[in-house]
Structure 1
Amino acid sequence: MTSRIYIIEDDAALRRELAHLLELSGFEARCCEQFTHAAADALATNPDCVVLDLKLPGTDGHTVCRDIRARSSVPIIMLTSSNSEFDEVMGMNLGADDYVCKPYSPAVLIARIQSLLRRSSAGAASLRIEHKGVTLDVGAGAVSFEGKQAELTRNELKILHILMRNPGLVISRTEIMCDLWESDAFIDDNTLTVNVNRLRKTLGHLGVPDTFLVTRRGQGYMV
């Protein structure tokens, strides 16, 4: 699927040049021409990456960056003719993912965009883990198997997540309880047993074999 890049640049010639460059590189380019609602307009296109100029009429790139980041984790590359370290630090603090100074090398800018898209895709993929036909969707808090899906409680999700992050390894009960403690979900030894049993039942209702979640007596659990 073609990645969508949204350009927020007030210089019309540069905007057209950048859009053409992106399209030649296999991207779909959309452009902002009215900057009053630049953040909302950008997000309305559901972009895969935003290329954002620092100097904009009636507003500025820092404000737009902050407004986008408040509502989305879409990768943002900021463009600027300034070599001020302050501008770069402020942009990064407001949520920009990268910073490119003008005049930029077209090849370098494309490479930066591709790198951000790869990182973003890898991050999204890490929210879905598959093992032995079982798929855990961390973002949705759900587990699926052979076309059936079930929602998990917070504790069940944390337990299955730590086990599926470490397939084939025995995870001790202490380590699991520490992981749950870190998530502000207090849990003692007996409560862990109850939650593991509930998780087993949830997996069983989906048709997951009993051998998927294994108990190692005196050691812990593994998948």
Structure 2
Amino acid sequence: MKQILIAEDEPDIQELLCAYLEDAGYRTTVAGDGAQALAVFGGQPFDLVLLDLMLPGIDGFGVCEVIRRQSQVPILMLTALDGEESQLRGFGLDIDDYVTKPFSMPVLLEKIRVILRRRGLAGPESRLHYRDLSLDLDTREVLLAGRPLELTAREFELLHTFLAAPGRVFTREMLLARLWGYDFYGDERVVDSHIKNLRHKLGRNYIETVRGVGYRAAKADR
């Protein structure tokens, strides 16, 4: 399992990143400020660093400068600053990519996968199997009993979320944060609508409702 250092000071985003990345097959370690990030980085090897730019104390640029003196580990910057100057400064420090907040968790996961592959580092298994379903995370192909199944991007990410963590219950709030963005303020019923459409396409009950809580992948014997 690849180890990712998350240097981020906002607890909600820390929790979201950890949950999503761990479900995707990565191990995570969190640092809440620049000094802690450098201390943690110096104490163990990491395969990638998710680095918030606006960290307390030593900011992301400072952390990146120190890391680059000792390592060429992949660095993906996360920031609310979307100006060209900040991006150019980051790339000038030899970061691998730059993501502005709010960001899509599926897109972030794909960027991580691409960076690791580009660096020659094997990421988590790219094909996911569950009962007679098969998801290819690189090509986005879905096979149901060996036959291609056409899903929208959101439906694919919903199915991926459930099948990557069989048995785990996801509330509507969790699904909204992961797939629609942590700053989404719309109607939670959008989740129900997408799951209804997904169930219709699957034709069988692969996703079950946990009454009063949320949804999860249905048990294998159903």
Pairwise TM-score range, normalised by the shorter structure: 0.5 to 0.7
> 2: distance between equivalents of 1:21 and 1:108?
12
> 2: distance between equivalents of 1:97 and 1:40?
22
Partner of 1:119: 118
> 1: distance between equivalents of 2:106 and 2:47?
19
The answer to whether the aligner puts 1:100 opposite 2:94 as a matched pair is no
> 2: distance between equivalents of 1:120 and 1:31?
23
Q: Residue 118 of structure 1 aligns to a residue in which SS?
A: helix
Partner of 1:88: 87
Q: Runs of at least 4 residues of structure 1 off by over 6 A? A: none
Q: Is residue 32–residue 55 contact of structure 2 (8 Å, CA) maintained in 1?
A: no
Tell me by how many angstroms 1:31 deviates.
0.7
Q: Residue 34 of structure 2 aligns to a residue in which SS?
A: coil
Partner of 1:78: 77
Partner of 1:10: 9
Q: Is residue 80–residue 101 contact of structure 2 (8 Å, CA) maintained in 1?
A: yes
Tell me by how many angstroms 1:8 deviates.
0.1
Q: Is residue 21–residue 109 contact of structure 2 (8 Å, CA) maintained in 1?
A: yes
Which protein shows a greater Rg? Answer: 1
Work out the number of aligned pairs and report it: 122
Q: Is residue 7–residue 15 contact of structure 1 (8 Å, CA) maintained in 2?
A: yes
For residues 11-67 of structure 1, give each alpha carbon's deviation from its aligned partner in whole angstroms, at most 9, with x where no partner exists. 011111101110011111111135324224224220100000000111210010111
Partner of 2:183: none
Partner of 1:49: 48
Give the counterpart letter for 1:80 in structure 2. Answer: T
> 1: distance between equivalents of 2:116 and 2:70?
18
Larger relative contact order (C-alpha < 8 A, sep ≥ 6)? 2
Give the counterpart letter for 1:85 in structure 2. Answer: E
Partner of 2:23: 24
> 2: distance between equivalents of 1:119 and 1:19?
23
> 2: distance between equivalents of 1:13 and 1:59?
21
> 2: distance between equivalents of 1:43 and 1:29?
15
Q: List aligned pairs for 1:69-218, cutoff 5 A.
A: 69-121=68-120
Partner of 1:186: none
Percent of aligned pairs with the same amino acid: 39
Q: Is residue 40–residue 68 contact of structure 1 (8 Å, CA) maintained in 2?
A: no
> 2: distance between equivalents of 1:71 and 1:37?
17
Q: Is residue 15–residue 31 contact of structure 1 (8 Å, CA) maintained in 2?
A: yes
> 2: distance between equivalents of 1:90 and 1:11?
23
Q: Is residue 32–residue 42 contact of structure 1 (8 Å, CA) maintained in 2?
A: no
> 2: distance between equivalents of 1:71 and 1:43?
9
Q: Is residue 52–residue 79 contact of structure 1 (8 Å, CA) maintained in 2?
A: yes
Q: Residue 114 of structure 1 aligns to a residue in which SS?
A: helix
> 2: distance between equivalents of 1:37 and 1:106?
24
For residues 169-196 of structure 1, give each alpha carbon's deviation from its aligned partner in whole angstroms, at most 9, with x where no partner exists. xxxxxxxxxxxxxxxxxxxxxxxxxxxx
Give the counterpart letter for 2:117 in structure 1. Answer: R
> 2: distance between equivalents of 1:110 and 1:39?
23
> 1: distance between equivalents of 2:36 and 2:96?
21
